[in-house]
Chains A and B, each alone.
Chain A
Amino acid sequence: MKHIEQILPEELGSQIVDISTSQSLRESIIKDATQGTKTETTMNEELQATVVCAVRKIGNHTKQLNISKNGTYQVTPDSGTLLKAVDVHVDASSSVLVDFVKNGGKFAYSNANNIPIVWEDITGNNLNYLLIDGVCSVEIAQRLLNLLTDDKNYADYMLGVDFTNVGSEVYWRFPDGFKNSKKSNIMSNNNNLVGAHVTLDCNELEYTGTLFGWTGIKRLTLLNTKQLKSFYNPTSSIAIDAFDCDGLQSTPYNGIHNGTTTLGGFINLGKGFLQNGSAKDHTMWFDSDMQNLSHDSLVNIFNGLYDLNLHTFTFTNQPTIQLGATNYSRVSAAEIKIATDKGWIVTK
């Protein structure tokens, strides 16, 4: 017999842990949330292969998935595309590997060397390498995020989330747990999002990391994002209508990679800048990267900037656009004046 141990925190209140959709669990978990009791249930060993993954947020906590002492404990979704809302707590006391298996194939795993034994206690720690191997849906990925990120500082490297077939409007909202998080790197594998308007709603996330290999995006809206480390496109140029940057407190670090020719600009960049931000935070660099920007793209950038004169304060370091010699030669003084009239310094 394998044991599934369900710990019900007091914060659960009257919330129901829904396992009714699982066809493989024969027993139900008695939910006695008001007393915060620990309840155990068991399942037959032969049903192990069809146990549905345990990904669920409970109250203000994310339910932990711990690992057995004997190595990998596989938690396998059913034949559908969605993980079921069953919480699984497997007793563990040593460092092992987490596997998520779909139809017999591992689609996500994490090296347990970086995972504390009790995930509820990882506040302040770095959860490295949640690897999603290009076959899981956004729905599954977000459920995994719910599992992993509540009340944590940041999760690092969520790889290969496949947005390719989710349509022209891609809305990625980080779970509520990210509200208390600080950072997340997002590195998705070869997502060719031709014509898509991607909205990242980071829910007050301070820092969104590299968007690796995202191509074909028409527009990227950054909601509630204070920093974007970089939009990193290593293989080809991109054409993007615009980044919506209202909430950014600093310029996108590293900007957009070389090769980019067509860009709609960074809409409202500067609106979220802090009065005492550093010179680095307030400088948009085009001098070493992005020397292939078209004339129209450069003008789009000027047009999209936020009018700094609307701020009620004076910046310690006035926001600056560093064009580099090549880009500088593509624009006229009158076009540069579009930016300076908004209070931006424009340098060669």
Chain B
Amino acid sequence: MSEGRKTAVSPRRWRRVQEARAHWSEAFGLGLSLTGDRARAEDLAQEALLRLARTPREPGGAGSLRGLVLRTVRNLAIDETRRTTPESLDMLNETAGLSQDHRSPDPAEEVCTREEVARVREALGRMSPDWRAMLYLRDGMGLGYAEIASVLGKSRDVVRVTLHRARQRIRSLLGELVKEELE
């Protein structure tokens, strides 16, 4: 214990952490998609950045810093969900007082209101964490399948198949939610 090994964060790592702050909102978004909870999303994003300070090695290339941040957020969230009961995973839904006009045949024409965000969160909450993460990484961040595969530690083929299922699932969930709201 008395050895001179330093565990304090080196300036170089700090620089990297500072660079990683550029991905803060993306990390937060992933955290929010995964947990549905702002405070926890913030915790996850912050923890992910802090971990960079403790990560001993520079990741491969410049682009992989983002991948590393996202991967860490995802891993932390998965760890968290493993020890949480399914009930507590329920997303917060501020769906009270919904606007009435959701009957539009093309959902894309819908104005994205707070209700819509809440509805998407609600729908995400009914899916598995990896599906949520996939949808966020692809549709929220526009990552390619290969990059998603690397963040989630899956193969590209798995991403391809799962993402499609996730999209179909969330589509039907969103449909159900709109129906519930109308009733």
Do A and B share a complex? Answer: no
Seen from chain A, the residues whose Cβ lies within 8 Å of a Cβ on chain B are: none
Seen from chain B, the residues whose Cβ lies within 8 Å of a Cβ on chain A are: none
